[in-house]
Homo-oligomer: A and B are copies of this chain.
Amino acid sequence: MTEADFLAALRRLPLHAGAHGLTDDAAHLGDLILTKDMVVAGVHFLPDDPPADVAWKLVATNLSDLAAKGAVPLGVMLGYPIGEEAWDRAFLAGLDEVLRTFGCPLLGGDTVKLPPDAPRILSLTALGRSAHAPRRDGARAGDGLWITGTIGDAGAGLAIAQGAAGPASLLARYRRPIPRLAEGQALAPIVHAMMDVSDGLLIDARRMASASGLAVTIDLADVPVSDDLKAFGHDALTAATAGDDYELLFACDGEPPVAATRIGTFATGEGLHPLQNGQPIPLPDRLGYQH
């Protein structure tokens, strides 16, 4: 089945109201926020990514889903395939580091033994608490579209992980993303919609607009890119379609209370309308990572 068919079929099952029709990255159970990821070697991470970085990224990307809800992390449940001693030890060291860095304890989980030829597959469930969890469907016409941090660094980092020459700072953005927990907590009570950018700025912005029943513009000239990325040679369009950024994308009116860049505007209508210095440009063929 395709993912779309499978999700459509899941939506015909008994769903919790807090599942929001499986349209969001996280579920709500009262003020509890839940998110779950499975990652597969060769699909979601490179088989030769350092195991400590795999641990970091597995936790950090789930905490990024919590950040987009303004949640304070409560704990994680890990599903882990015990295998090669050195890999396991390095993974545990990275897990220790990421849990301590973000003050998020281990709650439990399960370990399994995989058949010898199976790719490494890991699973994580993260739990957090948020009194004001925004969704992605609440943007209003006239809202600004804002993004934290810089975009595209992780995409360059992936190219570097795959052999391109480039600085460690970009590689770190790919391997060790920093979930925007503090920003998410500050923004959650005041934004109209929020999500983290995982598949690419353009595709995720279009998803927010579509969920909100609106059109949105993005001016590529306003997309924040780092000096390292410019030196690496990626342009704003490459950056805005790369994905793996784990920055917070949000809709609000007025100025947000955190460092962020306004990159566009919501309006009545539909679709994503890219601009370059205020002038419409054609929609690129590829907006980001499509599942």
Contact = CB atoms under 8 A, between A and B. Distances in A.
A96 B38 contact: no
A127 interface: yes
Contact of A108 (B22, B75, B114): B22
Nearest to A117: B117
A13 B95 CA distance: 8
| Identical chains bound together, number | 2
A57 B268 CA distance: 48
A92 B15 CA distance: 13
Contacts of A85: 1
Contact of A105 (B16, B75, B89): B16
A55 to B, nearest CB: 10
Interface in A48-80: 74-75, 77-80
A124 to B, nearest CB: 9
Interface string A26-44: 1101001011111110111
A7 interface: yes
Interface of A: 1-3, 6-7, 9-10, 12-16, 18-19, 22, 24, 26-27, 29, 32, 34-40, 42-44, 74-75, 77-82, 85, 88-89, 92, 95-96, 99-100, 103-115, 117-119, 121, 123, 125, 127, 291
A36 B77 CA distance: 7
Contact of A43 (B13, B24, B78, B114): B114
A6 B111 contact: yes
